[in-house]
Amino acid sequence: MSIRYPNGKIFQGSSNIPIESKKKFSYSNRGMTLEEDINVTNHYYLERQIAVIHKKPTPVQIVNVDYPKRSAAVIKEAYFKQASTTDYNGVYKGRYIDFEAKETKNKTSFPLQNFHDHQILHMKNVKAQSGICFVILRFATTEEVFFLEADHLFLFWERQKKGGRKSISKSEIAEKGHMIPIGFQPRIDYISIIDTFYFK
Amino acid sequence: MSIRYPNGKIFQGSSNIPIESKKKFSYSNRGMTLEEDINVTNHYYLERQIAVIHKKPTPVQIVNVDYPKRSAAVIKEAYFKQASTTDYNGVYKGRYIDFEAKETKNKTSFPLQNFHDHQILHMKNVKAQSGICFVILRFATTEEVFFLEADHLFLFWERQKKGGRKSISKSEIAEKGHMIPIGFQPRIDYISIIDTFYFK
């Protein structure tokens, strides 16, 4: 008999397993996207009162809405809008947290086309207000996840603007960023990185 | 000839006018909703690098999307979802800012039905993380706007839960909250209240 969480997900192991043996867990082919993993992580943080971080809703331009009698309004025509900010924000120990999460199937570098000018501008605005701002980058094939502070992303972005390479090499990410511990609970423990670099 | 801003809005006066004479400006019947006023205010804060505060997109459950050839994806069926958080959040001087804005046509009290349990819970979570959390309440008929700290809202909410009144009287709001200065730029200067109570 499989044990299930209240959300219906099957329980696949104990979180009391020592870290060493945890690493042997295979997270491959779980069919979880980075977004799902981060949502589960944020839910964990929220339930344990560790942090309050939410994904923003997808921005949609609503054109036509139908209001049928005795039932809910139906949006009949709408279009996806480009987001003017990053996808995730919230609060940890009073500080403002803001980040974007992206993954690539590339093996040796992360394409900068995953980001847009307006997102970079938003991140610069956040940094100017002393917010904690970063990106979470996942290499899908190896399932390695990195935390890269926005200031480093800005430098790689500028390099591209000046005609330099259109991606960040994995070794650069490993050097300037921090590998995020991947576990069972929380899945992608980015708060542990923030703790180390902002609260110690 | 009227002078217009880049966004097409007509320029109606100089922001260099001393505060005393500014007060004589009439803001009635401008046809601006509280949401529009706050968006304009947030835009002002952003441009002047005072704060980075955005309204979250309306959450929508997308059911059916059409992908026509050579044109943008069209959402053909979608439904409004209830938001699980407040509408506005962002960063000011490194601190996390989170608020909801509501208006009423009532003259003497603010109905608590403008808020929902899940929003109150979200605000409590934010306070537990030392975020700055409040509501902006506007009385539409008098155009008075108040800043009410979330902790006070929680008490009025509890009173209702215990069978007490289903609204906050205007005199209670005036006593526990702070009237927000209404001006030309910024329209609803809630940051000035935050400055006074959190950064002095």
Q: In chain A, which stretches have pLDDT less than 70?
A: 1-31
A111 in contact with chain B, both atoms CB, cutoff 8 A: no
**What ipTM was predicted for this assembly?**
0.82
- Complete domains list, chain B, with CATH: 41-57+84-198 (3.40.1350.10)
Q: Is A82 annotated as a binding residue?
A: no
Whether residue B60 and residue A60 make contact (CB cut-off 8 A), yes or no, is yes
The total of other beta-carbon atoms located within 10 Å of residue A47's CB is: 8
Provide the 8-state DSSP code for A84: S
3-state secondary structure of B94: coil
- Predicted confidence at residue A6, as pLDDT, reads 54
Q: Give the whole-angstrom CA distance, residue B146 versus residue B140.
A: 12
B21 in contact with chain A, both atoms CB, cutoff 8 A: no
- Predicted confidence at residue B83, as pLDDT, reads 86
Tens-place pLDDT, residues B38-68? 999 999 999 999 999 999 999 999 999 999 8
3-state secondary structure of B83: coil
Among B75, B83, B122, beta carbon nearest to A75: B75
Whether residue A92 and residue B129 make contact (CB cut-off 8 A), yes or no, is yes
Nearest CA-CA partner of B44 in B187, B194, B147: B187
3-state secondary structure of B32: coil
Q: Give the whole-angstrom CA distance, residue A129 versus residue B91.
A: 6
Q: Which of A64, A91, A123 to mutate to test the interface with B (most CBs of B within 10 A)?
A: A91
- Predicted confidence at residue A20, as pLDDT, reads 41
Please give the residue of chain B at the shortest CA–CA distance from A83.
B57
**Rounded to an integer, what is the distance from CA A1 to the centroid of its chain?**
33
- Predicted confidence at residue B28, as pLDDT, reads 47
**Which residues in chain A have Cβ-Cβ distances shorter than 8 Å to B62?**
58, 60
Please give the residue of chain A at the shortest CA–CA distance from B85.
A54
Q: Which secondary structure element, helix H or strand E, spans residue B55, and what is its range?
A: strand B52-55
- Predicted confidence at residue A26, as pLDDT, reads 45
Annotated binding-site residue numbers of B for Mg(2+) = 85, 87, 100, 119
The total of other beta-carbon atoms located within 10 Å of residue A111's CB is: 14
The residue with tokens 């480009």 is: A82
DSSP result, B128-159: HTT-EEEEEEEETTTTEEEEEEHHHHHHHHHH
Give buried/exposed letters for A69-90 (b at 16+ CB in 10 A, else e). eeeeebbebbeeeebebbbbbb
**Which residues in chain A have Cβ-Cβ distances shorter than 8 Å to B56?**
56-57
Q: Which secondary structure element, helix H or strand E, spans residue A88, and what is its range?
A: strand A88-92
**Which residues in chain B have Cβ-Cβ distances shorter than 8 Å to A198?**
none
Q: Give the whole-angstrom CA distance, residue B84 versus residue B119.
A: 6
On the 0-12 / 13-18 / 19+ scale of CB atoms within 10 A, B189 is: buried
Tens-place pLDDT, residues A48-85? 999 999 999 999 999 999 998 888 899 999 999 988 89
Nearest CA-CA partner of B176 in B143, B152, B142, B150: B152
What angle (nearest 5°) sits at the alpha carbon of residue B13, between those of residues B7 and B17?
Answer: 130
Q: Give the amino acid at A57.
A: P
The total of other beta-carbon atoms located within 10 Å of residue A165's CB is: 13
Q: Which of A44, A48, A52 to mutate to test the interface with B (most CBs of B within 10 A)?
A: A52
B199 in contact with chain A, both atoms CB, cutoff 8 A: no
Q: In chain B, which stretches have pLDDT less than 70?
A: 1-31
Q: Give the whole-angstrom CA distance, residue A130 versus residue A123.
A: 11
Please give the residue of chain B at the shortest CA–CA distance from A71.
B79
On the 0-12 / 13-18 / 19+ scale of CB atoms within 10 A, B67 is: exposed
- Predicted confidence at residue A7, as pLDDT, reads 54
